[in-house]
Amino acid sequence: MNYPNGKRKSLNQNKFKQTNQGYSNRGMSLESDINVTNTYYLETDQAIIHKKPTPVQIVNVKYPKRSAAVITEAYFKQASTTDYNGIYRNKYIDFEAKETKNKTLFPLANIHEHQIKHMESIIRHGGICFFLIRFSPFEETYYFPAENLFPYWYEKQKDGRKSIPYPKIKENGTIIPFHYQKRVDYLSIIDKLYF
């Protein structure tokens, strides 16, 4: 197939090739890095982990052309739980990904009660549940067990602190080194903690 620059795309092109963002800008999208990692896990038959789709109710669609439909109005059907789930080494995996530009703390504002209840239920039933937290200014991504976050969440609910200090994330989490194909290799952390 020919592309706009007139060059043919190689069929053997490496699927894990880094996008045109430089090494220094790799921290711009945690979700993108997780998706590349999950594709690598799937294609190397290590795990089956997928991003959960958010259920949407389509209300209005316009057809400006016969071959094109444009959704003009839609609503979320229900509150989402966590971002990703799947299976690894016979264990159910469920996690939430969060990115912050803050240098001193991780704010809890974007974590909701229904997510906490969901995560507590996963743990009660023997699943592995965690947060992947990226501090963009430092280009650091941490594996943070959900159990370690719950006390901070409940403190916030009692009008306490509304965030987790960065030193506590470092102390109670595990940093995930950046790799080319497994950009956020969280399975290596799970191997150390659970297997």
Residues of each annotated binding site for Mg(2+): 81, 83, 96, 115
Annotated binding site: 81, 83, 96, 115
Q: Find all residues with CB under 8 Å of 110, minimum gap 6, and list them.
A: 98
Give, in order, the Cα–Cα distances in Å from 74 to each of 63, 69, 83, 181: 15, 13, 20, 36
